[in-house]
A and B are shown apart, each in its own frame.
Chain A
């Protein structure tokens, strides 16, 4: 009896989960399908499959907008920022985790103080500072902000991880006369790769998706990132829904593909960063 009741309940739960999956996926499916429809088709038959797959919209976005440029900028900015975060955070965390020094606790707290700071609220002074440093409308400016924003949590994760590594490895390296840099680079850091990957993914997604800082700082079309560029062609083609859906689809595509390939690492990276 109980067995059957349990099975019925599980079936119900399964059904609800399936319904939820439809709610999550269907909008994205419509976005994808509408990218292959003409404007008239979208208005007349919003739920139908495209009558004949029509590549005009995609060709339009790819050929007549600066989509490729936006994509390249997003790639550059995200790669440089994530690289900077991982390198700088690992360096600082290594010092904090492996060497006792006088202000160690204070330095650690200094990094942590940036943990939940909404940096958007400091946009006015940042703007004035960027003005003085000639960083307005540069990709480097974005990279520096993103590094600063990503450091606190990355330092936190890396310090926690590096502290767990056993001291014997280091000692044996010292006895063999290796320099501190050698010990760090060839003995300790290879062991820290999992933590570095978490720190990288945790930061890569919000940086790739960020809209606020480019909105304020980037003015030239040639330096815009993808989310910001998206607002450009959404404005330019605002009456042609086929092109709009094509633009949304192409913009969502890169990160979706990477996510599908690495979903386990993405989920671990983004949720663990929050839980720890």
Chain B
């Protein structure tokens, strides 16, 4: 130690040493690319090279010019459906499962391990597995229905069932995650609160709606925001199960697939279009960021009120 000045210098170097790697990696691979995405959206492209400022033309094309505008809107609607269905189906069921597990009946620990097992598997494995199961002729699902005398539909090939089949697969894959987040929230509620409510004559239903629901608000916030971001980033599952075009006839096309196809080219043609792709990415980013921010703010306020 050579006095206070030396100490300050070492400490400044020491701080820089600690912070630099993280800051450099974040800047190079998160912040810079995100900022560049905004810039590229205003350019036309020649292959991988920006070729001239085009103003808002890319945005105008993907939002208002046929046939792109119809594809954008269709994909966006599908994302909305996915979000709503996952909230109601997957997360609603997860909430009930969490409550059932809170009762600590025999086997509840094993059940936690079981419902969380698909969560650790890759969407690629889950997608392929269910694609095989949902095959109209040889798949497990329709073979089982056939035993009951029912001719099942071609789940992934019929435009009325395809998106629903993907949503079901997603719920099967992920349900353990919201369930255990809800469970963790419920376990933080003190025993006394629950006992007191019971003594007041509250049955399970009243308990779930009036006591637990407000008190797991922090868990709900996390589940809603993560489901929202996940739904609008949906890519792997539809890519594996119904292909890059969102077959059949675009019935499962979502923004993630549409963005990828626009940027890197579809199956039949490898034509890249980075300008329109960037414009789509920027719109998606702004939408996801602003909605999550609003949702987060509203739900956090609710947590405090509760």
Contact = CB atoms under 8 A, between A and B. Distances in A.
Interface in A132-164: 144-145, 147-149, 151-152, 155
Contact of A263 (B26, B116, B181, B229): B116
B118 A24 contact: yes
Given A107-B23, A147-B25, A13 B105 contact: yes
A263 B1 CA distance: 48
A17 B94 CA distance: 12
A8 B185 CA distance: 27
A124 B277 contact: yes
A236 interface: no
Interface stretch (A53-61, A165-173, A189-197, A207-215): A207-215
Interface string B161-195: 00000000000100011001100110000000000
Interface in A96-152: 96, 99, 101, 107, 110-111, 113-114, 116-129, 131, 144-145, 147-149, 151-152
B26 A151 contact: yes
A259 interface: yes
A27 interface: yes
Interface of A is mostly: helix
B92 interface: no
Interface string B117-144: 1111111110011101100001010011
A271 interface: yes
B124 A13 contact: no
Contacts of A128: 36, 48
B225 interface: yes
A31 interface: yes
Contacts of A126: 29, 33
A17 B26 contact: no
Contact of B23 (A17, A92, A121): A92
A219 interface: no
Contacts of A119: 30, 33-34
B249 interface: no
Nearest to A212: B235
A125 B37 contact: yes
B64 interface: no
Nearest to B15: A95
B129 to A, nearest CB: 6
Interface in B211-238: 218-219, 222, 225-226, 229, 232-233, 235-236
Given A107-B19, A121-B37, A216-B264, A148 B30 contact: yes
A43 B116 contact: no
Contacts of A228: 124
5 contacts: A42-B138, A95-B19, A125-B36, A149-B29, A248-B128
Given A180-B11, A267-B112, 7 more contacts: A25-B117, A91-B21, A148-B26, A211-B123, A259-B120, A271-B181, A271-B184
Interface of A: 9-10, 13-14, 16-17, 20-21, 23-25, 27-28, 30-31, 42-43, 46-47, 84, 87-89, 91-92, 94-96, 99, 101, 107, 110-111, 113-114, 116-129, 131, 144-145, 147-149, 151-152, 155, 177, 180-181, 205, 208-212, 216, 226-228, 230-231, 234, 241, 244-245, 248, 251-252, 255-256, 259-260, 263, 266-267, 270-272, 274-275
Interface of B: 1, 10-11, 14-15, 17-19, 21-23, 25-26, 28-34, 36-37, 40, 48, 97, 100-101, 103, 105-108, 111-125, 128-130, 132-133, 138, 140, 143-144, 172, 176-177, 180-181, 184-185, 204, 218-219, 222, 225-226, 229, 232-233, 235-236, 240, 256, 259, 263-264, 274, 277-278, 281-282, 284-285, 288, 292
